[in-house]
Structure 1
Amino acid sequence: MTDNKTLKKGRLGTPALVFMIIAASAPLTVLAGGAPTTFAVSGLLGLPVGYLVLGAALIIFAVGYCAMSSRVHNAGAFYAYISEGLGPRHGIAAALLALVVYNMLQVGLYGLFGFSLSAALATWTGLSVPWWVAGAAGWIIVALMGVSNVDLSARVLGVLVSLEFLVVLVVMGFALLNSSEGISADSVLPEQFLTPGVGVLLAFSIAAFMGFESGAIYSEESKDPSRTVPRATYIAVSIIALFYALSTWALTMGVGPSSVVDESREYGPDLVFVWLADFSPLLSDVVHLLFVTSILAALVAFHNAAARYFFALGRSGVLPRRLGTPGQNGAPVAGSVTQSAIGVIVVVIFALAGRGSELGELFPVITLFTWFSTAAAFGLVFLLAVTSCAVLVWFRRDHHGFSTFTRVIAPFVSAVSMLIVAILILVNFDIMIGEESPRAMVFIMPGIIIGAGVIGALWSLRFPNETVDMDALPHLPETRSEPRETTTAAP
């Protein structure tokens, strides 16, 4: 049982939280889907370096973020931190933006999942299943898991992520043992990264890390959150960056540095499966199956994140309070059901819109998945920049015993770097959504993100600062390494 304010406490330890974070980043989806797309669009081999650079930038972001998370525990992490740092109204605007971002990330994945499962069934059984029917199967699984205890999601995601890592390690070993041009450092040379096309490369690469910040979302459900959340975040980001860099380098060696860009442009997300099939059709089928389950794991992870944002906003009175009442099992049931309802509505709209489309079977990938995920990437990076600013302001009021690097330098560097990446995404948005997409989408999709922030700011005017339920932003008793001369400003 749980009280009427908080989610079920103490369910997640560090390993479970690491799996939840990594599941959202979907390692196999990035290798099989993201890497070939980035190679094809950027024309550069320096993707492994891109992952390491972005990983380092996100570690710097995590310094201030995790320090603040050790004091502020809330299921709506961005909402809580920006409210504490910049004020409740800014927090409300950011929270509604974050809610849109997480829902777009989650719902957009139904397009990729439906297409991938449909293609896999056609390959294995000869059955022709519409993408939206395959997507509906995933929706049912996600909806059921969303209203269950979070430890069920953690166990399922733990198994799926473990299998993803295992199969990617096998693919890496296979690639290095069968390297078509020998082992080389071609993909990590400076000239393959420090070129004019690096903006496109970084804009695409950041999508591989989406979900890394979600550790703080589960802080209320974690064991000893002041330690568990920071530890899990650092571990997850480090693993993601290193694993993506190594696996992408190995894929480059397997396909061949001189041909990986051209073959990525020819085969797209099927590159890994086509390449493996030449050596082992069985291994290709296994990887294809786990590619589908990898997308399913990401669907569950982002569904959980969106449901907890609904919960946090309902609990604080920004959205209907019914959303902020946990179920008997301690899960954010109302938020989960709401997110599932949004998913089915959007999928139905795109299923109807895609009938007879000249894009054929690729319709859900080029539209639902690409449009939504690219716009959400812009929104998420912008939120990271704003959160870094909030961390700076929060620590100016009270150092909480942390060093100057943690309080000032890291958040400032993070804010600047995240803003640069957000600008890169906007500048290259037309390239990222592809020439098959209508020109209007270049303005409509980022407009949805910007519009969500504007609407959130206007919505916040309904709530005088003193009426926002800041009890929804619980604090941990202060722990200090040195005496303080100032007191924390009242939220």
Structure 2
Amino acid sequence: MPTPGRTTGSRDDTPRAHGSPGAQPAREISTYVGQERALRAGRLGTAGLLLSVVAATAPLMVVAGVMPTTYAVMGITAEPLLFVVLGVIMALFGVGYAEMSRHVHNAGAFYAYIARGLGGTAGAGASFVALAAYSALQVGVFGLFGFEAATLMERYFEVGFAWWVPALLAVAATGVLGARKIDLNAKVLGVLLLIEVALVVIVDLAFLADPGPQGLSLAAFDPAALAGAGVGTALCFTVAAFLGFEQAPVYAEETHRPQTIVRRVMFLAVGGVAVFFALTSWLMSTAAGPDRIVANAQQQGPALLFALTDPRLGSAFTDVLHVLFLTGIFACILAFHNVVARYAFAMGREGLLPAAVGRASAGTGAPALGSFLQTAVATVVIAAFAIGDDLPTGDPTTPVLRLFTWLGNIGALGVIALMAVTSVAVIAFFVRRGATRVQAGRLVCAGLATVGLGVVFGYALADFDILLGADPRSALRWALPAVVGVAALAGVCVGLFLRATRPETYARIGLGNEAFQLEKATGDAPAAPTTPAQ
């Protein structure tokens, strides 16, 4: 039986003149092809959205992985200052990005903003970059998850199996959750994130109460400590800690008040992440000793965190930290999975992917097919790496040094590029609307963000071999970044094809829900289908 407000077989949502008998409220039809292409609105409030996006930052993964790696590879003691600098750059980006979110509500976020500012072809190129970048980030983290899960099983239960076994189990669990209601996902992510944050706070307090031999030194915030270091490359290592806050507009269609909530969440996330990680990296430095942190990180790698907590909080707490490190990784995977599914949904809705991908689940209002496609992609990629892995069980080379590192850096590079181009698009959008004077402050921030992000992107591209830990002569240093370029080229080609063959579809790129509302107002909405929506 059809339910009230839902699309039925004949789908009586044909546009009517305003005030005509039987006219439906505009809010019941969210997209130009009807309710089956609408994400379920009103699912998320401020808390749910904040937890969903911050979960992608994976606090324990950053503290245990990113921080020691940056100390070790860059050989600098001023890592806390890097988080402050990057926080400023991200905040500058967030000013224009947040303002844009008040004018454009689209699950395609990055590419929708770029399309509205720089045109449909640029938006199409950005859509494929976003899809590839976030997919790479999500699939790469499965490698780290699989390795850590296999290591824990070996350590605590003396059960040995290959890394890809728990990785594929995590793929299945993520696929199931990804097709469910977003508020359910928010609850799962929220619980895991709050536990992670609580554990890191306990660690911070332990480091604060029992610092190393040099006490609570502020040397880590001395700009002179960055002298001789490739600051841009160092920022590339820490940029992964911030990936997540930019996802807030992706959920705009599913929030209660997107004009207010999305902007609020972005600034809470940026500010919170910058302060939290700057403080934690500083306390990690004081726990080891500013003059010893680099050497200890080079010797112990990701084990540094656990080596510092064990004498202060005991082995039982360290064991809990290991387990929650794993659940934090899963939260990160789920957060990225949800973003990829929504980008695919938005692209299907606007003709950049097959139309079926842009159809929401009738039961959950979630982008179920987009979720299924990302699950399939993850399965295929993990299987490919597993087939090529002939190393002994417990060797991190394939799951961590290849799958996680390679795909993680591809994804981070793509997101940095999207941020930089989006900042340009923000400027173009408001200049075109004649709002230069009104938005002057925000446009200056967007310009500064473009410069900052452009510098980080340039260093990341030039020093990609360092990010990979590969030989400078390795083909990987250009082959892996080329993935971002190929994705952009593919999207541009699709955009040009649509402009030449389906101009009406091309004109909708970036419009999302607005396309139907505009057509409804002018009486040009497409005819209803003759077959029931599935």
User: What is aligned with 1:473?
Assistant: 512
Give deviations 1:424-456, integer Å, cap 9, x for gaps.
Answer: 111211111113798111111101111111121
Q: Secondary structure at the match of 2:103?
A: coil
- Are residue 361 (structure 1) and residue 396 (structure 2) matched? yes
Shift of residue 359, structure 1, vs aligned partner: 9.3
User: For residue 245 of structure 2, what is the amino acid of its counterpart?
Assistant: F
Of 359-368 and 132-141, the range deviating more from structure 2: 359-368
User: What is aligned with 2:358?
Assistant: 324
Map 1:392-407 onto structure 2 (within 5 A).
Answer: 392-399=427-434, 403-407=438-442
Alignment equivalent of 1:105, drawn from 116, 133, 137:
137
Give deviations 1:36-85, integer Å, cap 9, x for gaps.
Answer: 00100000011111111111111111111111110100001012101111
Q: CA 1:399–1:115 in structure 2 vs 1: closer, same or farther (change >3 Å)?
A: farther
User: What is aligned with 1:339?
Assistant: 374
Shift of residue 251, structure 1, vs aligned partner: 0.9
User: For residue 272 of structure 1, what is the amino acid of its counterpart?
Assistant: L
User: What is aligned with 2:494?
Assistant: 459
- Are residue 129 (structure 1) and residue 161 (structure 2) matched? yes
User: What is aligned with 1:236?
Assistant: 269
Map 1:146-295 onto structure 2 (within 5 A).
Answer: 146-181=178-213, 182-279=215-312, 280-295=314-329
- Are residue 374 (structure 1) and residue 445 (structure 2) matched? no
Q: Which has the larger radius of gyration?
A: 2
User: For residue 188 of structure 1, what is the amino acid of its counterpart?
Assistant: F
Map 1:420-435 onto structure 2 (within 5 A).
Answer: 420-435=455-470
Q: d(CA) in 2 for partners of 1:200 and 1:414?
A: 17
Q: d(CA) in 2 for partners of 1:399 and 1:373?
A: 39
User: What is aligned with 1:142?
Assistant: 174
C-alpha contact 2:350 2:505 (8 A) present in aligned 1? no
Q: d(CA) in 2 for partners of 1:471 and 1:421?
A: 27
User: For residue 400 of structure 2, what is the amino acid of its counterpart?
Assistant: V
TM norm structure 2:
0.86
User: What is aligned with 2:479?
Assistant: 444
User: What is aligned with 2:151?
Assistant: 119
Q: d(CA) in 2 for partners of 1:16 and 1:94?
A: 27
Of 348-357 and 321-330, the range deviating more from structure 2: 348-357
TM norm structure 1:
0.93
Q: CA 1:61–1:402 in structure 2 vs 1: closer, same or farther (change >3 Å)?
A: farther
- Are residue 31 (structure 1) and residue 63 (structure 2) matched? yes
Q: Secondary structure at the match of 1:326?
A: coil
Shift of residue 275, structure 1, vs aligned partner: 2.5
Q: d(CA) in 2 for partners of 1:256 and 1:156?
A: 37
Map 1:49-60 onto structure 2 (within 5 A).
Answer: 49-60=81-92
Aligned-residue identity in percent:
37
Q: Secondary structure at the match of 1:267?
A: helix
C-alpha contact 2:348 2:358 (8 A) present in aligned 1? yes
Structure 2, unaligned stretches of length 5 or more? Answer: 7-34, 516-534
Shift of residue 231, structure 1, vs aligned partner: 0.3
Map 1:64-79 onto structure 2 (within 5 A).
Answer: 64-79=96-111
Q: Secondary structure at the match of 1:462?
A: helix
Structure 1, unaligned stretches of length 5 or more? Answer: 477-491
Q: d(CA) in 2 for partners of 1:215 and 1:21?
A: 6
User: What is aligned with 1:297?
Assistant: 331
Shift of residue 158, structure 1, vs aligned partner: 0.7
C-alpha contact 2:359 2:367 (8 A) present in aligned 1? yes
C-alpha contact 2:123 2:509 (8 A) present in aligned 1? no
Q: d(CA) in 2 for partners of 1:27 and 1:462?
A: 42
Shift of residue 278, structure 1, vs aligned partner: 3.4
Q: d(CA) in 1 for partners of 2:117 and 2:329?
A: 34
Of 340-349 and 184-193, the range deviating more from structure 2: 184-193
Of 461-470 and 418-427, the range deviating more from structure 2: 461-470
Count how many residue pairs are aligned between Structure 1 and Structure 2.
476
User: What is aligned with 2:23?
Assistant: none
What root-mean-square deviation, in Å, do the aligned CA atoms of Structure 1 and Structure 2 show? Answer: 1.9
